[in-house]
Structure 1
Amino acid sequence: MEEVGERLGWSATKVSRIETARVRVALKDTGRLLDLYAVDPAKQAELLDLAKDARKKGWWQAYGDLPTEYTTYIGLEAEAASMRSFAPTVLPGILQTEDYARAVIRSALSLSSPGEIERRVEVRMARQRLLIQETPLRLWTVLDEAVIRRPVGGPAAMRSQLERLLEVADLPNLTVQVLPFAIGVHPGTNGAFQIMEFPEPADPDVVFMENFTGSLYVERETDVYRYTLVFDHLRAKALDPDDSRRLIAEVVARSN
Structure 2
Amino acid sequence: MASSVNPTVRRRRLGQELRKLRELKGMTAEEVAERLLVSQSKISRLENGRRSISQRDVRDLCGVYGVEDHRIVDSLMQMAKESRQQGWWHAFGDIPYSVYIGLETDAASLRVYEASLVPGLLQTPNYANAVTEGSWPEATAADVERRVQVRMRRQERITDPENPLRLWAVIDESALRRIVGSGAIMREQMEHLVEFSLQPHITVQVLPYAVGAHPGMYGKFSILEFHDPQDASTVYLEGITSDLYLEKPNDVQAYSVMYEHLRMQALNAEDSRRFILQVAEDWADEGRKEEPGQ
| CA distance in structure 1 between the partners assigned to 2:40 and 2:248 by the alignment | 16
Q: For residue 121 of structure 1, what is the amino acid of its counterpart?
A: V
Q: Equivalent residue for 1:77?
A: 104
Q: Equivalent residue for 1:44?
A: none
Alignment of 1:27-176 (within 5 A): 29-30=52-53, 34=57, 56-67=85-96, 70-133=97-160, 134-176=162-204
Provide the secondary structure at the position in 2 that maps to 1:214.
coil
Select 1:7's aligned residue among 10, 24, 41.
Answer: 41
Query: TM-score w.r.t. structure 2 length?
Result: 0.72
The answer to whether the Cα contact below 8 Å between 2:55 and 2:81 also exists between their aligned partners in 1 is no
1:147 CA drift (Å): 1.0
1:156-185 Cα deviation digits (max 9, x unpaired) = 111111111111011110000001111100
Q: For residue 107 of structure 2, what is the amino acid of its counterpart?
A: A
| CA distance in structure 1 between the partners assigned to 2:189 and 2:147 by the alignment | 18
Q: Equivalent residue for 1:188?
A: 216
1:17-53 Cα deviation digits (max 9, x unpaired) = 47xxxxxx7xxx3469849x6999xxxxxxx9x9789
1:132 CA drift (Å): 1.2
Provide the secondary structure at the position in 1 that maps to 2:188.
helix
Select 1:224's aligned residue among 249, 252, 259.
Answer: 252
Unaligned stretches of 5+ residues in structure 2: 1-18, 20-27, 34-38, 64-76, 285-294
| CA distance in structure 2 between the partners assigned to 1:98 and 1:59 by the alignment | 19
| CA distance in structure 1 between the partners assigned to 2:205 and 2:233 by the alignment | 22
| CA distance in structure 1 between the partners assigned to 2:57 and 2:131 by the alignment | 38
Q: Equivalent residue for 1:22?
A: none
| CA distance in structure 2 between the partners assigned to 1:33 and 1:187 by the alignment | 46
The answer to whether the Cα contact below 8 Å between 2:225 and 2:233 also exists between their aligned partners in 1 is yes
Select 2:276's aligned residue among 228, 236, 248.
Answer: 248
Q: Equivalent residue for 2:5?
A: none
1:189–1:54: structure 2 CA closer, same or farther, 3 Å change rule?
Answer: closer
| CA distance in structure 2 between the partners assigned to 1:172 and 1:72 by the alignment | 28
Q: For residue 65 of structure 1, what is the amino acid of its counterpart?
A: D
Query: TM-score w.r.t. structure 1 length?
Result: 0.82
Provide the secondary structure at the position in 1 that maps to 2:222.
strand
1:63 CA drift (Å): 1.0
1:41-80 Cα deviation digits (max 9, x unpaired) = xxxxxxx9x978985432112112223xx11110000110
Q: Equivalent residue for 1:21?
A: none
- Asked which structure has the greater CA Rg, the reply is 2
Number of aligned residues:
235
Could you say what the CA RMSD is over the residues aligned between the two structures, in angstroms? 3.0
Select 2:234's aligned residue among 206, 217, 241.
Answer: 206
Provide the secondary structure at the position in 1 that maps to 2:243.
strand
